[in-house]
Amino acid sequence: MKESSSFLSWLMLAGVAFSAQADSILWVSDNGAKGTELGSDGVNRGVFYPAVSGETPYVDQGFVNLLTQAGHQVTRFNPNPTSMSIDDVPLINGYDLIILGAALNSGPFNLNARGAKWNTLITPPMIVTKSTLIRRDRMGYLLDNKEFDCAADASTTASGKFTFLQPNHPIFDGIARTLQGGNAVMNNFGLTHVPSPVNNRAASVQYFKLSIGGVDQGIANAVEPGGVVLATIDFNPLDPGVNIPAGQTPAVNGTYQATGYAIVEWPTGTSVRTTQVTGETNASYRLLFACGTRDAAGSVTAAPNPEAGALNLTADGQRLFLNAVRHALSKGPRRLLSSSWGEWDYKQYLYGGTGNLVLTDQTAGGFTAWVSTNDVDVFNTAEGSIGSDGAIEPAGRPTIYQEFAPLDLSEVGQKVTATFDLKFNNALNPSDQFVRFGFGNPNNNSSFYLKVDSGLGGGTTLGWRSDASITDTNGTTLISPTFNPAGNLATAVPLNVPVKGPNEGFVSSNYSHFMNSGSLSGAAYPGGIGGYPNGVGLGVEGTLDIVHSFSMSMERVEGGLKIGAVWSNSAGPEVLESGYSNPYNDQPLADGGHGKLDQIGCLGFNLMNNDLFNLGAAGGTYRVSNMTLTYITPPILRLSGITHESGTDQFSLSWVSEPDAIYTLESTTDWSGWLSVQANIASEGASTTKTITSTAPATFYRIRKQ
C-alpha cells in the first residue's frame, strides 16, 4: 500500500511575475458600412470599428460583449465584400486572435477570392464560428460540403449536446459531462435557439453522418488530413432548404438526425484545399467553434447583415467558447505590445505641430513611419547661442518606441526576443549604421541595441552598442527659437527637457537620448558581419520591393547576457547572424555609464543619418510589420509531490523540471552544509521523479539545477 501526500516545498526558487496587457481580438463581421478606400493593389480596403459601434447594437454584439466582459480588447473589422486588400493584411496580423463571426457572408471566402488569403497570409490564430466558411468550396478545411442549420436544444430525437472526442482537451475544462456508451457527453446543451430574430436558422453545422427516417444516408464529409475533431453534435435540423418567413419560428424536422462538427482544430501548417490545389498551408492555428445564428434565408448580402450572428450559447456554451478563445490565444505568440506607438520627435517638441515624424497604420504588429530630415541644428553648443555649429543636437533623431510591463532578465534562462519585418518605401541617402533597434531598462535608464548599416555606407553591417541613458541629454541645456513655419526666428526661449542620467531615474515618454550614444565600457563590440543577406541592403534604389526580416534576442546565462541577431530578406535564402561568442558582462559601471540590463521595459527604433532619404526634406516612409515580442522564463523549480512506500525506507520526490536540464539531489541533517545524494539526474521532461532510500531521521533534502 502506498501513502501519498502533497505539500508545499520549503525549497522554491524565485518566480517572475508581470502583468501583460489584455489580449487583442479582431471580430470579423459584415455588420457596419463597407470601406471605399482603395488599397495599393486596387482593391477596396476593409474598415476597422470600435467594439461597440452605432446607436443600435448589431445582432452579433452579444459575442463582442462576452469577450470584452472576459477582459479581452475587441475591435470590429468589416472586410471587403469581394476580396481582401493586401494592405489590410499587416493590420489584421497585428492582433492576437482573429474570430470570423457568423454574420459574415460566405461567398467572399470562396477559393477564388478571399479564402486563400485568409489561409496563407493571416498569421495570428483564428477561430471560425460559421461552419459555412470551412466547407470544401470556401476555405477548404473539409473534403465536401454537407450543411444543415441546427436548432440545438429544440431537438426532438437527438441529444443536441456536444460529445467530447478529446475529453481532456483544455477547451472542455470545467464542463460537466457524463459517460454514455464510452463517450463523454456534455450534460447540458451548448447551443440554444434564441428567440430573436424570431426566424433565425440557429447555428450552421457541417455534418458527416445523416439518417432519414432511421435509414443511414452514407454521407462522406471528412476533415482535411491533419485536422483533429474535438467535439461533435447530434441534432435534428430545421426543415432543410426552407427559408423562414419573418415572425415565424423555424420548425424542426424530427425525421432527420445528423451528426456534425462542433469543435475542430487544424494545427499550424495543416494543408487544406487538397481537393482543389496541391495543398495550401494554413499560416497558423485554426479552430472551428460552430455557433452564432444564421439569417432567415441563409443568403442575405446587404450590409449590414442585421439578422445574423446572435449569441446563441448557454452558460456552459459560453464557458466552452471562452475556453476555446483562451486556448487559441495560447497557440500564437503572446503579444506584450499595444496597438499604439510613442513618438519622441525633437523638432515637434521644439516647435509644436508636425515635426520630423508622423506615424500611421499603428497596430501591435507595427507601424508606417514618415520621417523627414533629422537635422535640427539650431543651437551653437560652443558659444551657447542660437545658430548653427554644424552638429546635430544631442536629441535630434526621432524615436518610435513602446513601454511595457518590465520583463525580468535577472535569472538564468530568461530570454526576450523581438522579431519584425522592415521595408523602406523610398530610397535612402548613403550612411553608416543607419537603422537602430534596441531594448531599454527604464529602471536604470540603460539600453542595448542593434546597429544595421543601410547598405549604402561603410562599417560593420550588423553590430551592437550599449547606451548609458535613454532620457539623458548629456547635461546640455537645450534652447529653442520661437517657431515660425517659414524659418527659425532669432528669439530664443529655454526648452524644458528633463536632464536625467542613469543614477537620476527614467522619465517616461522621454526618449530624447535613446540609442544615440554609449559604449561597452571599453570592451570590444560583439562580432558583426560585413555583408548583406543575398547581397541586398536596406533602402537601396531598385530593391525597395525587398522585405528585410530581423530578430534580436537577449538571454541571461552564467556570466552575463547572451545576445544574438538574425537578418534575412525576401531576395533569397541567405540568412546572416551576429552575436557574442562570450556572454556580455552587463554589470553597471561605477562612472555612471550603462546600468545592468536585469529587466527590459521598452523597445524602439530610430534612423541615424541627418538627411535620411534622397527626397531630402520631403522625407520618405518605412514600414515595420509582423512585430512580435516574446518572453520565456524557465519554470519555477519546485517539488510537486512525495510518495512513501509504506513499511520501507524508500520514498519518491517529484519536481517541476525543464526539458534537457540536469539536477542534483542534496541532503542535510543539521543545516551546516549540503551533501550530494546524487548528481547528474537527467530531466524526464516537464516533471522528474527520483526514488531514494533514507534511514536517517530528520533529514532534509533539496533539488538543485546544475
Give the pLDDT confidence score for residue 523 in this predicted structure: 44
- Is pLDDT at 55 greater than 90 in this prediction? no
Mean pLDDT is highest, among 107-121, 176-190, 203-217, for 203-217
What number of helices (H) and strands (E) belong to the chain?
5, 40
Mean pLDDT is highest, among 85-89, 257-261, 368-372, 539-543, for 257-261
- Is pLDDT at 643 greater than 60 in this prediction? yes
Identity of the residue numbered 254: G
In tens, the pLDDT along 177-199 reads 888 888 889 999 999 888 877 77
Give the pLDDT confidence score for residue 291 in this predicted structure: 95
- Is pLDDT at 8 greater than 80 in this prediction? no
Give the pLDDT confidence score for residue 495 in this predicted structure: 43
Cα–Cα distance measured from residue 481 to residue 648, given in angstroms and rounded to the nearest whole number: 86
Give the pLDDT confidence score for residue 262 in this predicted structure: 96
Q: Cβ(481)–Cβ(378) under 8 Å?
A: yes
Q: Which residue has the higher pLDDT, 280 or 217?
A: 217
Q: What is the DSSP letter of 66?
A: H
Give the pLDDT confidence score for residue 483 in this predicted structure: 37
Q: Cβ(100)–Cβ(133) under 8 Å?
A: yes
Classified as helix, coil or strand, 232 is strand
C-alpha cell belonging to residue 584: 556580455
Where do runs of H (alpha helix) occur along 287-381? 315-330, 346-351
Mean pLDDT is highest, among 175-179, 239-243, 310-314, for 310-314
CB atoms under 10 Å from CB of 49, counted, come to: 18
Strand partners, 360: 368
Q: Which residue has the higher pLDDT, 650 or 532?
A: 532
- Give the model's confidence band at 657: pLDDT under 50 very low, under 70 low, under 90 confident, else very high: confident
Q: Where are the beta strands (DSSP E) in 353-459?
A: 357-363, 366-371, 379-380, 385-386, 399-408, 415-424, 435-441, 446-452
Give the pLDDT confidence score for residue 498 in this predicted structure: 42
- Is pLDDT at 358 greater than 80 in this prediction? yes
Give the pLDDT confidence score for residue 477 in this predicted structure: 39
Give the pLDDT confidence score for residue 546 in this predicted structure: 92
DSSP labels for 523-582? PPPPB-B-S-GGG--TT-TT-TTPPEEEEEEEEEETTEEEEEEEEEETT-S-EEEEE-SS
DSSP labels for 235-303? EPBBSTTPPPPTT-PPPB-TTEEEEEEEEEEE-TT-EE-TTTSS-EE-SS-EEEE--SPPPSSS---SS
Least confident of 30-39, 228-237, 492-501: 492-501
**How confident is the prediction for the chain on average, in pLDDT?**
78
Q: Which residue has the higher pLDDT, 496 or 611?
A: 611
pTM given for the model: 0.57
Q: Which residue has the higher pLDDT, 352 or 468?
A: 468
Q: Span 39-63, mean pLDDT? A: 85
Residues 6+ apart with CB under 8 A from 13: 411, 636, 637, 638
- Is pLDDT at 324 greater than 70 in this prediction? yes
Cα–Cα distance measured from residue 630 to residue 440, given in angstroms and rounded to the nearest whole number: 15
- State percent of the chain over pLDDT 90: 24
Residue 526: cis peptide before it, omega within 30 degrees of 0: no
Q: Span 238-267, mean pLDDT? A: 82
C-alpha cell belonging to residue 621: 516612409
Q: Which residue has the higher pLDDT, 706 or 621?
A: 621
Pairing of strands 126-128, 147-150: unpaired
Q: Span 152-172, mean pLDDT? A: 85
In tens, the pLDDT along 98-113 reads 999 999 888 778 765 5
- Is pLDDT at 638 greater than 50 in this prediction? yes
- Is pLDDT at 209 greater than 90 in this prediction? yes
